[in-house]
Amino acid sequence: MASGALPIPVIQELQVVTVAAAAPGVSGVIAKVEARLQGRRGPRILQPYYDLAKLCRKEALAPEGASWFFLAAPLVAVTCYLTVPLLIPVLTSYPLPLGYMGDILGGGFILALASFVVAVAALETGSPYAQMGSSRAKTFGAIAEPVVLFVVFTVALVTGTDLPYALAATVRSSAGQIVRPAHLLASAALFMVILYETGRIPVETHTGTNEFGMIEEARPFEHSGPYFALLKWGSAMKQLILFTILLNVFVAPWGLAATARPGDVVVAIAALAGKAIALGVVIAVIDNSFAKLRLFKITEFAAGAFLLAVLGVFTLYLGGG
Amino acid sequence: MAIAWTGLAAHVTAPPAVPSVFGGSANVIAVLVLLLEFGMFRQALLRDQIRLYAAQSAAVSVLAVIVAAAKNVPELYVLAALSAALKVVIVPLVMRRVLRGADEEIAGSGTLGVATTVLLAIAVGAFGFFTVGTLGIADVAPGTAQVARPHHAGSFDGTGAAPPETALGLAMAVVLVAFVLMIVRRDVVSQAIGFFTLENGVSLAALVIAAHMPLILEVAFLFDLLVAVVVFGVLIRVHHGRGQSLSTAELTRLRG
């Protein structure tokens, strides 16, 4: 290994630290862009960090009758979100040792576990809003999860493995890989799933007050203080993780560090931030140009994503995808 | 780590057959045509449905240009221009004119919900798709896509033999999904549009497997479509004149 190179475990940790540290910032940029598009000045970009700091200083309360699980859930969820960056290409184009702990499906399972834990904690509270949110999240999740499965099938058929690193390398290898319909369809399906999972506009309003259309946003209603901060931070991390999977595996796996030199890694961090912000701008534009779907129309949205993913697998099946 | 990397490199350097850029983009457009077909299930406004049809026809015309460029068939440029003029401009114009008399804007809701229809159409489309796969019509088997067959080397103009199987399967799926649209929707306009999109699926198939078909045949197909448009226009007018509605739900009695 060249002199002056960072040790591999350090890069491995840097992947986690990058996601954890940059996630609230990406949320802040999206909120700012969204506000500018609506002609408002908007909050500071660093506002999410201030929010987290403020919440951490506050008192933590639990509803009467809630068991230990209510308080454990935010910790479990954040642990899950901190684990996934070990499995996906965040900074490097070459696989890091712990990247073999789990494949893209394994990463999906860990994200699903986090969401399940939060949903169970919401059920603990006895609050109607939180329960409604978790019930809806699981209902629509039953349609969104198969989409992720089919996207994974596409990856598996394209690369012969289900490692995210392998797909990223395949996409980089030639232009033919980018225009092949299976790749475009899987990317589009994954993008729609991301809109659903991060609670963006065709599915629900991301910011705002209490309302009956809430899904993801309603679940941490009863949490407070540092626990609420963990949940908010966790959902920001989930957003950045999903962005990273879409960008570094499917859409734009460029700008990743090919070596372990510090300079390359710094460039990779900057590139990831830039790409995530660009994707965030796209999502902010979508947020401002569409209306929220009625709750019962969300199945149509999910059916659309499912259609894209299934077509991706079909086209691959006959060898022409 | 080094071992891991070489293990991965083995996967990366030998991925399964990748379609050529021409094959890939042809397939992308075929997929786009199918997606627009699915989009019609979601569309409730008649005007938007016509707009979707125009977009779908535009995609087919673009495919004609791509095939013309890749396979070096200059007549196809003429066909692309003609089909764009007819299907992107004239047919939507005529349909809109027909609809101007009718005050209805919203398509009669289907017999099934949108999500259910989409799932049903996926199943039907999959049937068509895989049927084409098992028929073995295609001259290039999957997996050998990169191997240029000698008798094709000239006609494909050095771009490599593109397997038409996928695009053909997609065209078949478009035709079948158009049938689903016609069956599920209960208004004359959606059924007419379903018929027109069926023609789009057929011309997609023609472009993919028989690019060298004589131009006169293709143009004859286009004029067939024009006749269909006129017939449907009259049908819609008469139906609306008699029943004051575009819905076919009341057409329950058979008259001699």
* Domain contains B234: yes
Whether B2 maps to a domain, the answer reads no
Residues of chain B found within 8 Å of residue A100, distances taken between Cβ atoms: 4
Residues of the domain holding B199: 20-243
From the list B11, B19, B129, the residue facing A176 with the nearest CB is: B19
Spatial neighbors of A39 by CB under 8 A, at least 6 apart, are none
Residue B9 lies in a domain: no
B12 and chain A: CB distance < 8 Å anywhere? yes
- Chain B residue numbers with beta carbons less than 8 Å from the beta carbon of A162 are none
Of A166, A307, A308, the CB nearest to B12: A166
- Asked whether the predicted pLDDT for residue B10 surpasses 60, the reply is no
**Alpha-carbon distance B234 to nearest alpha carbon in chain A (angstroms):** 34
* pLDDT at position B150: 39
What gap in Å lies between CA A233 and CA A52, rounded to an integer?
7
pLDDT of residue B136: 67
* B195 falls within a domain: yes
Higher-confidence residue of B236 and A18: namely: A18
Distance CA A148, CA B200 (A): 31
**Does a structural domain hold residue B128?**
yes
**How far apart are alpha carbons A182 and B31 in whole angstroms?**
9
Q: How many CB pairs under 8 A join A and B?
A: 127
Q: State yes or no: pLDDT of B178 exceeds 60.
A: yes
CA distance B256 to chain A (A): 42
pLDDT in tens, B203-212: 898 888 877 7
Q: Which two tokens stand for residue A315?
A: 């086209």
A142 contact residues in B (CB cutoff 8 A): none
Say which residue, B117 or A201, is predicted with more confidence: B117
Position B137 pLDDT exceeds 80: no
Residue B36 pLDDT: 92
Chain B contacts of A161, Cβ < 8 Å?
8, 11
Helix, strand, or coil (residue A198): coil
- What domain range includes position A87? 8-317
Does the pLDDT value for residue B145 go beyond 70?
Answer: no
Residue A208: exposure state from Cβ atoms within 10 A (0-12, 13-18, ≥19):
exposed
| Positions of chain A with pLDDT lower than 50, given as ranges | 1
DSSP chain B: -HHHHHHHHHHHHSPSPPPPHHHHHHHHHHHHHHHHHHHHHH--BHHHHHHHHHHHHHHHHHHHHHHHHHHT-THHHHHHHHHIIIIIIIHHHHHHHHHHHS---BPPPPSS-HHHHHHHHHHHHHHHHHHHHHHT-SSS-TT-TTS--HHHHTTTTTS-PPPHHHHHHHHHHHHHHHHHHHHH--BHHHHHHHHHHHHHHHHHHHHHH-TTS-HHHHHHHHHHHHHHHHHHHHHHHHHHHHHSSSB-TT------
Kindly state whether residue B95 falls inside one of the protein's structural domains: yes
Summarize pLDDT for B180-205 with one digit per residue, the tens: 999 988 888 888 899 999 999 998 98
Best mutation site among B5, B6, B11, B147 for testing chain A: the one with the most A CBs within 10 Å? B11
Backbone angles phi, psi at B106, to 5 degrees: -105, 130
Residue A102 tokens read as 């789990």
Best of A150, A174, A179 to disrupt the B interface (most B CBs within 10 Å) is: A179
Decide if B28 contacts A184 (C-beta within 8 A).
Answer: yes
CA A36, CA A201: separation in Å to the nearest integer?
17
With an 8 Å Cβ cutoff, is B2 touching chain A?
no
Task: Tell me: pLDDT of B12 over 60.
Answer: no
When scoring B120, B166, B176 by the number of chain A Cβ atoms within 10 A, the one with the most, hence best to mutate, is B166
Statement: residue B158 has pLDDT above 50: no
Where is average pLDDT lowest: A237-241, B225-229, B247-251?
B247-251
> Contact, A321 vs A180, CB < 8 A?
yes
Scanning every residue of chain B, which has its alpha carbon at the shortest distance from the alpha carbon of A94?
B5
Contact B12 A179 (CB under 8 A): no
Report which of residues B10 and A64 the model is more confident about.
A64
The neighbour count for residue B1, using CB atoms within 10 Å, is: 14
- B163–A315: do the CB atoms touch at under 8 Å? no
CB A310 to CB B126 under 8 A? yes
Average pLDDT, chain B: 78
Interface test with A, best of B13, B22, B28, B131 (most A CBs within 10 A): B28
Instruction: Quote the pLDDT of residue A320.
Output: 58
Tokens of B92: 């939507």
User: By the CB < 8 Å criterion, does B127 face chain A?
Assistant: no
Q: Considering its fold, how many domains does chain B have in total?
A: 1
Tell me, letter by letter, the H, E, C secondary structure of A110-164: HHHHHHHHHHHHHHHHCCHHHHHHHHHHHHHHHHHHHHHHHHHHHHHHHHCCCCH
Q: Return the residue in A157, A180, A192, A294 with the most chain B beta carbons within 10 A, the one to mutate for interface testing.
A: A180
Tokens representing A253 are 């796996």
Average pLDDT over residues B154-175: 65
Position A207 scores a pLDDT of: 66
> Which residues of chain A have a Cβ shorter than 8 Å from any chain B Cβ?
8, 94-97, 100, 157-161, 163, 165-166, 169-170, 173-177, 179-181, 184-185, 299-300, 302-304, 306-308, 310-311, 314-315, 317-321
What contacts A159, CB < 8 A, 6 or more positions away? A166, A167, A170, B11, B12, B15
Distances (CA, A) of B82 to B26, B90, B91, B171: 20, 11, 12, 20
Facing A180 at nearest CB: one of B11, B24, B119: B24
> In sequence order, what are the beta bridge partners of A92?
A257
What is d(CA A131, CA B236) in angstroms, rounded to the nearest whole number? 50
**10 Å Cβ neighbour count for A274?**
12
Q: For residue A279, give Cα distances in angstroms to A260, A263, A276, A286, A292.
A: 26, 24, 5, 11, 20
User: Do the domain assignments include residue B13?
Assistant: no
Q: What is the domain count for chain A?
A: 1
Tell if the CB–CB gap between B17 and A179 is shorter than 8 Å: no
Return the SS3 of A204.
coil
Residue B154 within a domain: yes
